[in-house]
Copies of this chain bind each other. A is one copy, B any other.
Amino acid sequence: MVKRAEEMLVSAGIKLPAAVTPFGAYVPAVQTGSLLFLSGMLPTVGHEPKFLGRVGKELNADEGAKAAYAAALNVLAVAKQHLGSLDKVSRVVKLGVYIATVGDVDQVKIADAASELLREIFGEDKISVRLVFGVASLPLGVPVELEVIFELADQ
């Protein structure tokens, strides 16, 4: 039997951070119909960056992957805060992975760190499309930002 997302969090021993509050005049999540849009999620603890710099300059791809994983934890935390339970997610529709880069870096490896966490929690049959590119800079000077759209099950 397939475990549901909340069970997976427990069995994977993942403790979600507190949901990050907005840095400006926006909200963390908006539900419209059966879609839940999330604001861009950064590798921060609260408003404090956990990683600073660009991949290919101050940081390498391994550090970029760790930053993507940290941002994905914030994705889960914000979704759970909004929904009450991650079990309401019926699909991860879109994952955008935007990486502050200097030169060419292993973008697939960095993006996979986020994708694989979402796959672990929601299951192989709920994985998303993905959009990945290198940007010039990110808010707060962090190396990675994630954009997620979830599909929600009928309530």
Contact = CB atoms under 8 A, between A and B. Distances in A.
How many copies of the shown chain assemble into the complex? 3
Given A29-B129, A133-B145, 12 more contacts: A24-B108, A25-B112, A25-B115, A26-B111, A27-B128, A32-B91, A32-B151, A40-B130, A40-B131, A131-B147, A132-B139, A133-B136
A86 interface: no
A104 B37 contact: no
Contact of A24 (B94, B98, B130, B133): B130
Contact of A32 (B35, B98, B107): B35
Task: Pick from A40, A103, A136, A145 the residue with the most CB of B within 10 Å.
Answer: A136
Contact of A135 (B23, B133, B149): B133
